[in-house]
């Protein structure tokens, strides 16, 4: 992932490693919310397809998209995970 971040941020892999050791917020954010493949897709195409699908939607709108009879079990699991994360 360090090489991918190096390309994304325009810095050397050594700088990225140092930033990671320094706990810089941007590095923490990228590691927490993105996988290497997401960032590589962005570098190759200028976008991340899975995020393009939801970029203009609120959390409530995204949840509403999933609320139907076929997804009730999945939503219950998501709600349980949310409770655990609080």
Considering the domain architecture, whether residues 47 and 82 belong to the same structural domain is answered as no
Considering the domain architecture, whether residues 41 and 75 belong to the same structural domain is answered as no
pLDDT at 80: 87
pTM of the predicted model over 0.75: no
9 close to 16: Cβ distance less than 8 angstroms: yes
Considering the domain architecture, whether residues 6 and 41 belong to the same structural domain is answered as yes
pLDDT (tens digit, 9 = 90+) per residue, 13-58? 999 999 999 999 999 999 999 999 999 999 999 999 988 888 888 8
Considering the domain architecture, whether residues 47 and 68 belong to the same structural domain is answered as no
Alpha-carbon gap, residue 51 to 58, rounded angstroms: 12
66 close to 75: Cβ distance less than 8 angstroms: yes
Residue 68 has pLDDT above 70, yes or no: no
**Into how many domains does the chain fold?**
2
To the nearest 10°, the Cα dihedral for 14, 16, 17, 18? 90
Looking at residues 77-86, what average pLDDT do you find?
84
Residue 71 has pLDDT above 90, yes or no: no
Q: What DSSP element (H or E) covers 4?
A: helix 2-9
pLDDT at 56: 86
């Amino acid at each position: 992932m360090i090489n991918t971040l190096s390309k994304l941020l325009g810095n050397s892999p050594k700088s990225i490693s140092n930033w990671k050791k320094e706990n810089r917020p941007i590095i923490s954010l990228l590691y927490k919310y993105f996988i290497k493949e997401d960032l590589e897709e962005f570098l190759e195409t200028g976008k991340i397809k899975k995020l393009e699908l939801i970029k203009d939607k609120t959390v409530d709108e995204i949840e509403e998209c999933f609320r139907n009879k076929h997804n009730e079990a999945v939503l219950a699991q998501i709600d349980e995970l949310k409770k655990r994360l609080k």
